[in-house]
Each structure stands twice: as structure tokens, then as C-alpha cells.
Amino acid sequence: MQLEGPFATITAGWQERELADDELDEHLGSNATNLALWSRRQEVLDRDPDFAAAHRRRRIELTDLQELYLIGVRHTSRALTELREQTERSERAKRFALSDAEEVLRSLDRRHLERVREINASFYEATRPHEHPLIAAHRGEVAGLLGAAQAVVMTGGHVGELLDALHLFNVVPAGLERLPVIAWSAGAMVLTERVVLFNDNVSRGPRAPEVYDDGLGLLRDVVVLPSAHKRLHMHNTERMSLMARRFAPAVCVPLDPGSRVDVTPDGSLPADAPILDPDGRVSTFAARAVDPATARGATDG
């Protein structure tokens, strides 16, 4: 699809550098308008002290929740490693134990996401952003800009800042769901139903992937993994296999600089989209669809 604009750009993940978008604008033929979502949110936080205080309390609670959830994830991941190292045990007993530990990990993910939703729902119910004149005015302006756009371009950066701004200004119902979207990095991650953070290359050793928050839900049954070969130990098929099974029935889509996945009009992945198979190797979406063993493994995960 050839997109000529006008474009609406979303660079909120860049935070204070949000409007340093000259290069992006040039790539788009100087035919783009930045929605300035992060700057709009900062104005709200500066000028609406009651909303800002509630926003700050929610941030603290969500941070505590994430860090406590990670303690459980780390311990369960270590238990899985220890179980895999039990080479002298019965293979059947070992398989049962590994399956149980993996289910604990998935249960931690599910319960954590449920609690994140509860905190966010309580925040929006208590603050009622649509009743704040400044927020309502910004929402109207954002909706107008999206209404004039032919496509949206969304960059990366801090995924939490990006998500927060997108939700505050109702970007999906304001028009994002009806427009073609070009997105990468954190911008691609937030299009999915579930945002997963990951990094195998931190200084203290590989860090277990963590569920962070609901995404926008425009891409279903997909977990996006940007810069996969840079940030994941893709050669470690055991580790990649666990990731694929952990987030099934969603498929994990590893992306690297220069790669491109054109989602079909009905929101499905194209046949050549790269995915992690349950065996921990990179395959394609088409191969998963035609391989009964692979498809069954993803569903049963």
C-alpha cells in the first residue's frame, strides 16, 4: 500500500524529545503533524494538580506491583532452570514437574495483568478524565488531527510513557483503529493485546520476560519482540521455546532492524511473518498454520 499522507505522528515514547522529529518529518515528505501526546500530558500534569496527584499515586502502585511480580517470575524461572538440570531423574517425572512450573509462570502473568487492569480501572473511574476541561480539550484536538490524517506513524521509546499518553487521550477510539498504522519498536509493541518486556543482555545476566500491561488490542494473539537478535539469546532454543509456550496461544514475532511485517486487512499476520515455534526456533506463520504438531503445541501451551 502506497501511503501519501497527510500523516499523524506519535512520538510520545521519546518523552521530552518528542518534538525533535525533523528527520521523521522529512522522511514523510514534510506532510505530517505530530500529535504531541507526551507534551499534552505534561501540560495536564502541570495544570491539574488533583489529576497529577492521582496519576502519581497510580504510578507508584503500578511500580510496586511490577517489582513484586518480578520476584515471583525470577524465582519460578530459576526453578525451571534447576528442574531442567535434573538429568538423573525420570524423564516422565521431570516433564510433569516442568509443566507444573511453567503453569505457575503463566498464572503469575495472568494474575499480574488482572491486577494492573484493576489499578488502571480504579484510576480512570476515580479521576474521570473526560470531566477535566483541559483533558477534554486535548482529546478533541487529537481527534480532529486524526480525522484529517490518512495514516499514523508511531515510533518507539519508553513503552510505558507511550501507552499512558495513548490511553489518556483516547487515541484508539479517536481514530487510530480506522487508519493504517506504521509502527516500530515500542510503537509496534503497544498495538498488541499484551505488552511483554524482555532483555537477555542486562549486566546481571538474562532477565526473565515480564508482562507489563495491556496493549491497544489492534493486533490480536501476537507478542512483538523488537530488536530480537540484539536483546534476546535467540541461539538458546530452550529459552526461546519457553517464551513461545509461555505466551501461547499468542505467537511471538521476533523483529530486527530492517524487517517488515505487513498485517493483512483482517488483522492477521502474513504467511511470511517470522515467529518463534514451540521448539524455540524461528519459523514462519504459514509453517505454524500447516503443521498440526506446531499448532497443537501453541494451543496447549
* Burial class of residue 9 (count of CB atoms within 10 Å of its CB; 0-12, 13-18, 19+): buried
For residues 240 and 276, is the Cβ–Cβ distance under 8 A?
yes
Q: How far apart are the C-alpha atoms of 165 and 43, rounded to whole Å?
A: 12
CA-based angle 228:232:238, to the nearest 5?
A: 120
- Assigned domain for 296 exists: yes
Whether 222 is covered by a domain: the verdict is: yes
**Residue 102 vs residues 118, 177, 223, 241, 264: alpha-carbon distances, Å:** 25, 34, 18, 11, 32
Does residue 286 lie in a domain region? yes
Is 294 among the domain residues? yes
Is 228's pLDDT higher than 80? Answer: yes
Q: What is the pLDDT of residues 43-57, one digit of tens each?
A: 999 999 999 999 999
At 4 the pLDDT is 82
The C-alpha atoms of residue 227 and residue 225 are separated, in whole angstroms, by 7
Give yes or no for a contact between 102 and 80, defined as CB atoms under 8 angstroms apart: yes
Q: What CA–CA distance (Å, rounded) separates 78 from 75?
A: 5
The whole-angstrom separation of Cα 98 and Cα 83 is 7
Band (298; pLDDT cuts 50, 70, 90): very low
- Average pLDDT score over residue span 117-124: 98
Asked whether residue 64 carries a pLDDT value surpassing 50, the answer given is yes
Q: How do residues 209-220 score in pLDDT, each as one tens digit?
A: 999 999 999 999
pTM: 0.89
Residue with cell 486487512: 265
Residue 198 belongs to a domain? yes
Of 214, 244, 277, which Cα lies nearest the Cα of 102? 244
Question: What is residue 216's predicted lDDT score, i.e. its pLDDT?
Answer: 95
How confident is the model at residue 1, as a pLDDT?
A: 60
For the segment 223-231, the average pLDDT, to the nearest whole number, is 95
Alpha-carbon span 278 to 190, nearest angstrom: 24
Domain total for the chain? 1
Average pLDDT estimate for 64-76: 96
* Burial group, residue 65, by CB count within 10 angstroms (0-12, 13-18, 19+): middle
SS3 63: helix
Confidence of residue 301 (pLDDT cuts 50, 70, 90): very low
Within a domain: residue 205?
yes
Would you say residue 237 lies in a domain? yes
Contacts of 169 (CB under 8 A, 6+ apart): 35, 37, 40, 41, 135, 138, 139, 142
Residue 180's identity, in one-letter code, is P
Q: Could you read off the pLDDT of 229-265 as tens digits, one per residue?
A: 999 999 999 999 999 999 999 999 999 988 899 998 7
What is the pLDDT averaged over residues 119-123?
Answer: 98
Q: Of the candidates 283, 22, 32, which has an alpha carbon nearest to the alpha carbon of residue 153?
A: 32
- For residues 166-186, give the mean pLDDT: 93
Is 242 part of any domain? yes
Average pLDDT over residues 90-104: 93
Q: What angle do CA 247, 249, 251 make, to 5 degrees?
A: 70
**Residue 69: is its pLDDT beyond 60?**
yes
pLDDT > 80? residue 294: no
The confidence score (pLDDT) of residue 289 equals 56
Average pLDDT over residues 81-103: 90
Output the pLDDT for position 205: 64
Least confident segment among 58-67, 82-91, 275-284: 82-91
Tell me the average pLDDT across 219-228.
94
Of 21-35, 238-252, 287-301, where does mean pLDDT reach its minimum? 287-301
Give the single-character DSSP code of 30. Answer: T
Task: Show the domain range for 233.
Answer: 191-301
